[in-house]
Structure 1
Amino acid sequence: MEDIIFSLNSVWLMLAAILVIFMQGGFILLEAGSTRMKNAGHIAGKTIFTFGIASIMFWAVGYGFIFGDNGNFFIGLTDFFYSGYEIEGMSYSTAAFFMFQLAFAGISLTIAFGGFAERGKLSAYVVFAVLFSALIYPVVAHWIWGGGWLAEHGKQDFAGSTVVHLTGAMAAFAATILLKPRMGKFNKNGSANNIFGHNQVFTALGVLVLWIGWFGFNAGSTFVVDDGFFGFVALNTNVAAGAGAVSALIISWIVLGKSDIPTMLNGALAGLVAITASCAFVETWAAVIIGIVAGVLVFYSMKLVEKLKIDDPIFALSVHGAAGVWGTLSTGLFATPELATVGLPGLFYGGGITQLGVQVMGVAVSGVYAFAVSFVILYVMKKVMGGLRVTEEEEIIGLDVSEHGSYGYPEAFIAREEQKISS
């Protein structure tokens, strides 16, 4: 029976890893659809090769920094260049666990690159992918999931609202500051122009792919199937996503007079991001509330970011940053005594402000670390590499051609060029 349970748990963990890796496909559709046609091929391609970089770096040092023995409150110090060995006494395959954790590291990096969209050099992607995968994500993950100092304080983050989403968002924030806005985004008087994505259907399909992949993200974080608890986590995940989509659509309808589709899509993602920390710690009615708040929050966060003249094409700061903060704090409010296997019950369940205080501390320290280290790395890269951003001419013609020498949509652009020549 133990062998059967081991096999079932290992298959579940590997399936969850595959679902999370497939979320990269969702990000390709989401990011390409949310940006202009002239950059679509670049966005799709960089997602694949940066996941390749993340895979190599996680194998070499990332896994060891997070889960290695002989570590300390800051970082792990063993298990580098992971060989695929199995640990006796585990209820699932260690190699499957490695693949699952690798998938999470890749998602955080993809979120970070939202801040580079439509203006970052290919070389900047390569260098930052290496350094983020080695020095930023593993440190925060060790603090919370690897037995680091936040874990010792009982920080609750079941599947990564802080570890994955806030870390990636803060890196994206540093990138948007140093890269500065895209050409034409803001006028001299400070007003913003809408730079519409080229394919809203791609964006919607990307959100659906991410929604499905999130069941691997959250429910897979149970690691086991023998108690059936993964079904409850999946339930909470789904209702939070639905609530986020509905509340974002309604608030946009009320404020703008029209039901804005991009806002609704971002509301679904915000609900997913928010419930990621608390999906195993809260009751289902609380998951609905968490999703509703996330949907409203993402709408106003998007407006605030633009008002501050920050150009965030993929809305990483709002969807993954603001919603990630809310989701992490929500466990300090709604975690129940029965479900809080980590830390203490939330404020609304008689736990006082202790757990909420731990959550606030975790968000603040993790966010500051991710932003500060990302900013320093990117600033040094900017000085050493002669800039992080493509030239104005390259930005105008698009990164498909300027960085890769080919069009993502060759028929459309070649036909346009032929028309210019003939006229």
Structure 2
Amino acid sequence: MELLTTNNVWMMVCTALVFFMHLGFSLLEVGLTRQKNAINILFKNVFIICAGLLTYAILGFNLMYPGSFLAGVIPDYFFDLFGLSAPVADGSLDLAYNEGYTYWTDFLFQGMFAATAATIVSGAVAERIKLGSFMLFSVIYITIVYPIVGSWKWGGGFLDGLGFYDFAGSTLVHSVGGWGALIAIYLLGARLGKFGKDGQSHAIPGHNIPLATAGVFILWLGWFGFNGGSVLSADPSLTSITLVTTCLAAAAGGISAFLVSTIAYKNYDLTMFLNGILGGLVGITAGADLMSPFDAVLIGLVAGGVIVFGVSLIDKLKLDDPVGAVAVHLACGIWGTLAVGIFGSMAGFDQFLTQLAGVGIIGAFCCISAFVILSIIKATMGLRMEEKEETEGLDAHEHGMDAYAEFGTVHER
């Protein structure tokens, strides 16, 4: 009983840290975008955590991990359609998993992960998407797409049977959000002024880089819960090495992105430095429990380079991602997942092929799902704000508020 209590308390602390990450995402997105859209960014992030927890309780958790929330409520054939196990009433929802943590702690911890996937999309589509359209997409994506993908591995599905490994979600969380973000920015188009008539990319600076920096430090702290909690116990050895590899990969990712971007662009770009840290964190997440400290540094160093070249590639493809979400969460999520087959205790050619297959299957499912959902929304509600509304700012037109009211309205700036 004492072991259960210790493990359960650790899992609840990690749940709180992952919850805290949503503040980090909010500050990062606000800081890297323009002042006239700050309220809109914050509104989306508040909505995601609230709606995400409710929809995950109603349906998502039982799609991902068969339990008794929905036993007898939804016909079994619905679950069979996606190769899932139907919920089974077990007589006690407050059970403990191998003396690790209770059912309810499991639900809350996993619910925080679900909301994270939609938050990734929020930053990529910032400054031009209709709020109502984004909210509808987020609800559908969190409720159906994310849990189905998660069930294939974490719910004991077919990818788990194949030997696919993703410790804390480089693919199952970050790439799921990243694929959705990629399809969304493709269908939305770039912000006004992002690409000139000459086809060249023009930087649209964020309005508050100190906020963005604070957001990254909060996210780094939150990753102690994201990866540390994925140990699913308070085991001293496993939690310690997981946190060490997580931190070393983050530091190496930041240094690598800073150096590569300095060589490529001849300036010290703080935003690249910040995204490099996040890229290192995303990259180590798939195998944080398998890697040595040296492996973690190598994974982070590669992730930092992936960030710089990923951001450049997005620009070359004439796609507009204001916060670099696709490079951070998709590109580095793929790299981290494949790295499980290259570094650490599971390294091997067969494992690499298994990781590659998992990335491909999940990528195809997420892209098709996101494209269908967003295309229907685009054809019915519309995805993008009108040109006048985008020019004047979403805060004024969708919220009637200003993030910094004491400095005057958006129309005066």
Could you tell me the TM-score, scaled by structure 1's length? 0.92
Q: Which runs of 5+ in 1 are unaligned?
A: 337-344, 348-352
Residue equivalent to 2:398: 403
Give the paired residue count.
401
- What code does the residue aligned with 2:397 have? S
The C-alpha deviation readout for 1:113-159, integer Å capped at 9, x for no partner, is 22321011111122112110122101110111111110101111000
Q: Which residue pairs with 2:357 in the alignment? A: 361
1:45-60 to 2 correspondences below 5 Å: 45-60=43-58
Distance 2:34 2:52 in 1: 26
Q: 1:393 to 1:64 in 2, by over 3 A?
A: same
1:373 aligns with 2:363: no
The amino acid across from 1:15 in the alignment is V
Contact 2:287 2:337 in 1 (8 A): yes
2:14 is matched with 16
> What's 1:309 paired with?
318
Equivalent residues in 2 for 1:225-244 (5 A)? 225-244=234-253
Alpha-carbon RMSD: 1.8
Select 1:108's aligned residue among 109, 117, 123.
Answer: 117
1:415, distance to aligned residue in structure 2 (A): 8.8
Match in the other structure for 1:97: 106
Note the C-alpha offset of 1:335. 2.7
Q: Report the AA paired with residue 360 of structure 1.
A: L
**Of 266, 274, 288, the match for 1:279:** 288
**Mean Cα deviation higher: 247-256 or 70-79:** 70-79
**Offset at residue 413 of structure 1 (A):** 3.0
* 1:62 has 2:23 as partner: no
**Structure 2 stretches lacking a partner, 5+ long:** 68-75
Q: Which residue of 2 aligns with 1:169?
A: 178
Would the aligned equivalents of 2:396 and 2:410 in 1 still touch at CA under 8 Å? no
* Separation in structure 2 between the aligned mates of residue 49 and residue 180 of structure 1, nearest angstrom: 24
Q: What are the within-5 Å matches in structure 2 for residues 121-132 of structure 1?
A: 121-132=130-141
Give 3-state SS (helix, strand or coil) of 1:194's partner: coil
Give the 3 Å change call, closer, same or farther, for CA 197–79 of structure 1 in structure 2: farther
Q: 2:309 aligns with which of 282, 300, 303?
A: 300
Q: AA paired with 1:217?
A: F
Cα deviation, residue 416, structure 1? 6.5
Instruction: Provide the residue aligned with 1:384 in structure 2.
Output: 380
Return the TM-score normalized by structure 2.
Answer: 0.94
Contact 1:84 1:94 in 2 (8 A): no
The residue aligned with 1:4 is 2
Distance 2:142 2:266 in 1: 43
Please, which of 215, 218, 238 is the counterpart of residue 209 of structure 1? 218
Aligned to 1:86: 94
| Aligned sequence identity (%) | 39
Aligned to 2:347: 346
2:70: which partner in 1? none
User: Partners of 1:112 and 1:41 in 2: how far apart?
Assistant: 17
1:341 match:
none
Judging changes above 3 Å, is the alpha-carbon distance between structure 1 residues 256 and 4 closer, same or farther for their aligned structure 2 residues? same
Return the letter of the residue paired with 1:41: I
Of residues 401, 407, 412, the one that matches 1:412 is 407
- Partners of 1:416 and 1:381 lie apart in 2 by 30
Q: Distance in 2 between matches of 1:370 and 1:83?
A: 35
List per-residue Cα deviations over 1:8-45 (Å, max 9, x = no partner): 11110011011001100000100000000000111012
Q: Deviations over 1:269-302 (max 9, x none)?
A: 0000000001011111000000000001110110
